[in-house]
Amino acid sequence: MADSSQPVPPAPADVEATQATSGGQKIDPWNVSGEVGEDGKVKAIDYHKLTNEFGTSLIDDKLLERWEKVTGHKPHRFMRRQIVFSHRDLSLILDRYEKNEPFYLYTGRGPSSDSMHVGHTQVFDFVKWLQDVLDVPLIIMLTDDEKFLFSEKRTVEEVIGYSKTNAMDIIAIGFDPKKTFIFSDFEYVGGAFYRNIVRFSKRVTYNTAKAIFGFDGSSNIGKIHFASIQGATAFATSFPHIFGADEKRVAGIPCLIPCAIDQDPYFRLTRDAAYGLRYAKPSLIHMRFLDALQGPGSKMSASDANSAIFLSDTPKQIKTKINKYAFSGGQETLEEHRELGGNPDVDVAYQYLQFMMDDDEELARLNREYRSGELLTGEMKNVCIEHLQKYVTGFQERRAKVNEDVVNEFMATRPLEWAGNPNVPRADLVVPVKAEGGESKEGGEVGDGKLSKNAQKKLLKEQKLAQQKAEKEAAKAATHASS
């Protein structure tokens, strides 16, 4: 099986980068803040510096051109505007799409409260677009266990409750139920997934976890172990009901992880574990944060009502919040603004429009006219309010249609249906990954990449069996819980 007990081969460079703390800004899974300047003010987050510290690559024009050529779709506005600004091995995913070899999308959310805000939905909006464009399976992980372990006061029951309500919010983004599997850790850990979690944990020492995440002797051991759970979701063999139970074949299926940049440390570690386990390494695309209303340098926070626009806000609340709290890049007085112009780079209303307004030319016009002083802060805010109101109302309409049955459908352990690249027949035979420098223990046949009729039947049977098994286990768990 994939977990050899041999020592891990020397890790590639990924793991060496540690926490980004230099230069004053602090970005890790639990902290996001810009550098504090000499004037005591928080500066905007320097995303370029982050790519250097983390050792990721910037998404450049060449990569975007290739994206368009391979997928036939103009890059999403987030890609055009460097909101999705950095990646690891995105080109490997494009290689696979070109040949219609399987891969999947993986993203997640830590369900920490019932009140999701528009900062939370941005990655998911982008992921929905990716799913529409690429037509591949999407796996969404709800880390309720993480939110329990990393909080002093939350109870297990509480975070499980948030998983349900957050799943409803996520479904309202508009994902396709045929291609999307949402799971909560408390529900899904077990079986093939747990086997990968344990294989993963065996490959990570306390010292590495400490170096990457900054744990110390007083950190509870659940926190230290949690990386194995978030990481094991990046391995296709954790999902036999989707990819089949033949570990040898499935081990080579990679995923593409769209996430906010603060999650990168988890996946740096995952890429190294994958290497040791002879699993395909996950690719990543990183997104920057939606600023808090108070300005760049911090992100929206669910625990600070005035920092964020919530998905439950009314049009009136949105208007009041933007007018009252949105940090302005304009000048103090009308005269000064007309004379000196404003700064859209720090103007929160403009920043939100960068995320929400699809029209490049209109956005460029707002930018130009704000800088020249022609456009006033109030006018920029009005455009922003309009867009936000439409966004949140649209969300609320879709959310109203999501009921318990819909949630159960998305969270059921079942096969998914997808076609991938419409121009190329689907290739399902996955060549096992060979560890660089080491011999592949897996061996495995190298074929033409196509799945024979018989192999297709076999895969379907495997998926069905895995599904039945999961259903039985779930039923058993349910009787236990109620007895």
User: Measuring CA to CA, how many Å separate 136 from each of 26, 133, 154, 308, 422?
Assistant: 34, 9, 35, 32, 11
| Site residues (CB under 6 A) for ligand TRP, limited to 306-365 | none
Least Cβ distance, residue 29 to ligand TRP (angstroms)? 6
Q: Which of 75, 102, 108, 282 binds ligand TRP (CB under 6 A)?
A: 108
Is residue 109 a contact residue for ligand TRP (CB under 6 A)?
yes
By beta-carbon proximity to ligand TRP, the closer residue of 138 and 429 is: 138
By beta-carbon proximity to ligand TRP, the closer residue of 51 and 107 is: 107
Is residue 110 a contact residue for ligand TRP (CB under 6 A)?
yes
What is the residue type of 181? F
d(Cα 102, Cα 250) in Å, to the nearest integer? 9
By beta-carbon proximity to ligand TRP, the closer residue of 106 and 350 is: 106
**How many other C-beta atoms lie within 10 A of the C-beta of residue 371?**
16
Span from 107-115, 173-181, 197-205, 373-381 in contact with ligand TRP (CB under 6 A): 107-115
Site string for ligand TRP, 221-240 (x = CB under 6 A): ---------x----------
Strand intervals (E) in 82-215: 84-88, 104-109, 138-142, 180-184
Per DSSP, what are the bridge partners of residue 109? 142
Q: Which helix (H) or strand (E) holds 54?
A: helix 47-54
Q: At 390, list the tokens.
A: 């439409």
| Site residues (CB under 6 A) for ligand TRP, limited to 242-271 | 257, 259, 263
| Site residues (CB under 6 A) for ligand TRP, limited to 144-163 | 146
By beta-carbon proximity to ligand TRP, the closer residue of 162 and 355 is: 162
By beta-carbon proximity to ligand TRP, the closer residue of 107 and 389 is: 107
**Which of 396, 401, 399, 403 lies closest to 317, judged by CA?**
396
Q: Which of 18, 107, 196, 201 binds ligand TRP (CB under 6 A)?
A: 107
Give the distance, in angstroms, between the CA of residue 249 and the centroid of all CA atoms in the same chain.
Answer: 25
Is residue 143 a contact residue for ligand TRP (CB under 6 A)?
yes
Spatial contact of 212 and 268, defined as CB atoms under 8 Å apart: yes
**Phi then psi dihedrals of residue 56, to 5 deg:** -100, 175
Binding residue count for ligand TRP, defined by CB under 6 A = 13
Positions in the binding site for ligand TRP (CB under 6 A): 29, 106-110, 141, 143, 146, 230, 257, 259, 263
